[in-house]
Structure 1
Amino acid sequence: MRRNIPSLQAFLCFESAAKHCSYTHASQELFITQSAVSRQIQQLEEFLSLSLFIRTRHGVELTPAGQHYYKSIKPYLLGLEQSTLDVMSHKGLGGTLKLGVVPTFATRWLVPKLHRFNQRYPEITIHLETSTKPFLFNENIFDAAIYAGTQQQIDHWPGIHTHFLMKEDVVPVCSPQLIARHFPAAQKSHRYGYNLAAEQLQQLPLLQQTTRPTIWQEWFQTQQIEHAHPYDGQRHELFSMLAVAASHGMGMALIPQMLIQQELTSGELVLASDQQLSGRRSYYLVHSSQENSVLIQKFVEWMQQEVTHSIATQESAYA
């Protein structure tokens, strides 16, 4: 059965004319005549049974329907171009994996390790885009995603297959200067920091995460510490923002240790306490239940090995 899709040439002429608001500029970009551009767009309008452009003194403008159509097809044309370039660059070997990743995890954990994946699988190219919300894989935006969420969210995400990566356990961290300012005589209990007493922890200013306003109260309750003002302090949306604020001595923050390993190793940040808060959220690699890509399988196996190595590195610092 013939697909109900206009010709690719009509799409290209429309996209170029819509981008420039000019048939003339479209003809120059596509190396065809202006009349050819006009003919292709006319055929497209006849196919759709609606007008996409209106003529003005300065050229053409999109109609409301044209604006909507332009926004709708643009990402698909870009995707088609990228897929073509990917096939050409890989010569039919390997391939490209498009991953959606939560922002802080991408910049602080995944990207610094990707060179090892590239060394192992040079034939596979990884494209990363940040994503903080669940999506439908049938939209073809990503092949897979690394998502931080609750088990309930995963259970209610239709049409996916999940691979557990790690729990998002948070630890209290701050700058060593902040501790030195409040407690000059404090001594480190291990390589990464201190185990401050309850009364000391209560004296340090707090940094809050906007999306998890009760996180400090939960941590203090877990440690059986009565804190007078667990909701006070500057608020920041991302863990990466909290890490920067904490490293500048602005307060103590609760952040997953695996996202700040570099700062802990360098001493830019230190643990104020070893006590973790096991959050309800975990990191998962998710992909369509209909997808059984070899590329995804290789990436999952590599990710799980990296997670095991990261956990072992953290634990060795306390030995």
Structure 2
Amino acid sequence: MRGRLLPSLNALRTFEAVARHNSFTRAAEELNVTQSAASRLVHSLEEYLQVPLFTRRSRRIELTDQGRYYSGLVSKSLDLIEAGTVELISSQEGRGTLSIGMLPTFGTRWLVPRLPSFQEAHPEIAINIVSSDGELDFVKERIDVAIRFGPGQWPDAVIDPLMSEEVQVVCTPQLMAGPHPIVDASSLRHHRLIRHSTRPHSWDHWFQTTENSLRDIQWGPSLEHFFMIIEAVKAGLGVALLPTFLIENELRDGSLVAPIHERVSGPGAYYLVTPASKAQLPRVLAFRRWLISQLQ
């Protein structure tokens, strides 16, 4: 059986450091070797590959096209090895830190108030929550699991459905006491509609689902997160579509009201997304089991 066609790991580490610093001197300082040793290791890698990785001009070096391609590949590979090494060290007996990539409003409003029960059940696991709502990159963000809203399709991941989302029209009691209270969808023409910038078609979906239409829409501000939209509505900046489960407290204390009682299910749902490579880690399994139990 043929062995792997791999160059020296030491040479790869040195090449990655030189490419990152664009300097043999700074790379040598980082690796605690001499500049000549760093140069020899990179030269040995070029001989092994039979490809020039750098062009050398007096005291300056530049990556060749081949070197630029290879440095990106090597850097990602070393990141994976480093992350796996840290993972293995920190996962002894299920201990370590569980890093959760969290949608900001979902985390603040739904998850954080429930976390004490998880910490009580698993005091050996430390929790690290980071705001995360963009494209998922578990290695780059160094997170173990993420909660996302979407269609439920993420590659190379274990996906646990959590909940659907029902949205409803909300405003302040002051608006309802004004000259144009909202009694039906047509009443919305008198008010500014606040938009969610990452869900630009939410209002279109609501109008279509409720079989309503509205001409001459007055658009209010466009905001990135639900917690911003909640505060914007409370400040009187307009009317918004908000998930019911995120505004239970406001509806209860009367700071917000839902004048149109019809609720509309959104086109997506909330999911717990776990990279397949981490799905069997004890701390991840513990969190997945706990989170799903909170929805039963």
Report the TM range for the smaller structure's normalisation: 0.7 to 0.9
2:107 and 2:7 map into 1 onto residues whose CA distance is: 38
Moved more, 199-208 or 44-53: 199-208
1:159 and 1:90 map into 2 onto residues whose CA distance is: 21
2:198 and 2:118 map into 1 onto residues whose CA distance is: 32
Residues 169 and 242, structure 2, Cα contact 8 Å, conserved in 1: yes
The amino acid across from 1:72 in the alignment is: L
Tell whether 2:162 aligns with 1:165: yes
Tell whether 2:266 aligns with 1:279: yes
The aligned counterpart of 2:196 is: 209
Query: Kindly tell me: are residues 288 and 217 of structure 1, through their superposed partners in 2, closer, same or farther at Cα, counting changes over 3 Å?
Result: closer
The amino acid across from 1:246 in the alignment is: V
Query: Kindly tell me: are residues 30 and 141 of structure 1, through their superposed partners in 2, closer, same or farther at Cα, counting changes over 3 Å?
Result: closer
Query: Kindly tell me: are residues 23 and 107 of structure 1, through their superposed partners in 2, closer, same or farther at Cα, counting changes over 3 Å?
Result: farther
The aligned counterpart of 2:19 is: 18
Query: Kindly tell me: are residues 62 and 274 of structure 1, through their superposed partners in 2, closer, same or farther at Cα, counting changes over 3 Å?
Result: same
CA displacement 1:31-90 (0-9 Å, x = unmatched)? 111122112212222233222222234442222222233333334433433443444445
Residues 97 and 127, structure 2, Cα contact 8 Å, conserved in 1: yes
Query: Kindly tell me: are residues 62 and 241 of structure 1, through their superposed partners in 2, closer, same or farther at Cα, counting changes over 3 Å?
Result: farther
The amino acid across from 1:168 in the alignment is: E
Shift of 1:218: 4.0
Tell whether 2:63 aligns with 1:66: no
Which runs of 5 or more residues in structure 1 are unaligned?
A: 187-195, 309-319
The aligned counterpart of 1:84 is: 85
- Aligned match for 1:303, one of 277, 291, 296: 291
| TM-score of the aligned structures, taking structure 1 as reference length | 0.71
Identity value in percent: 37
Query: Kindly tell me: are residues 96 and 267 of structure 1, through their superposed partners in 2, closer, same or farther at Cα, counting changes over 3 Å?
Result: same
| TM-score of the aligned structures, taking structure 2 as reference length | 0.75
Tell whether 2:238 aligns with 1:251: yes
Residues 10 and 43, structure 1, Cα contact 8 Å, conserved in 2: yes
Residues 217 and 231, structure 1, Cα contact 8 Å, conserved in 2: no
Query: Kindly tell me: are residues 36 and 117 of structure 1, through their superposed partners in 2, closer, same or farther at Cα, counting changes over 3 Å?
Result: farther
Query: Kindly tell me: are residues 43 and 99 of structure 1, through their superposed partners in 2, closer, same or farther at Cα, counting changes over 3 Å?
Result: farther
Q: In structure 2, the residue corresponding to 1:206 is in which secondary structure?
A: strand
Query: Kindly tell me: are residues 7 and 98 of structure 1, through their superposed partners in 2, closer, same or farther at Cα, counting changes over 3 Å?
Result: farther
Residues 172 and 257, structure 2, Cα contact 8 Å, conserved in 1: yes
Shift of 1:215: 2.9
Q: In structure 1, the residue corresponding to 2:236 is in which secondary structure?
A: coil
Residues 172 and 272, structure 1, Cα contact 8 Å, conserved in 2: yes
Residues 90 and 123, structure 1, Cα contact 8 Å, conserved in 2: no
* Superposition RMSD in Å: 3.9
The amino acid across from 2:67 in the alignment is: G
Moved more, 11-20 or 29-38: 11-20
Residues 165 and 265, structure 2, Cα contact 8 Å, conserved in 1: yes
The aligned counterpart of 1:191 is: none
Q: In structure 2, the residue corresponding to 1:68 is in which secondary structure?
A: helix
Shift of 1:165: 0.7
CA displacement 1:266-296 (0-9 Å, x = unmatched)? 7665444443211231112244678544443
Moved more, 137-146 or 21-30: 137-146
Residues 189 and 217, structure 2, Cα contact 8 Å, conserved in 1: no
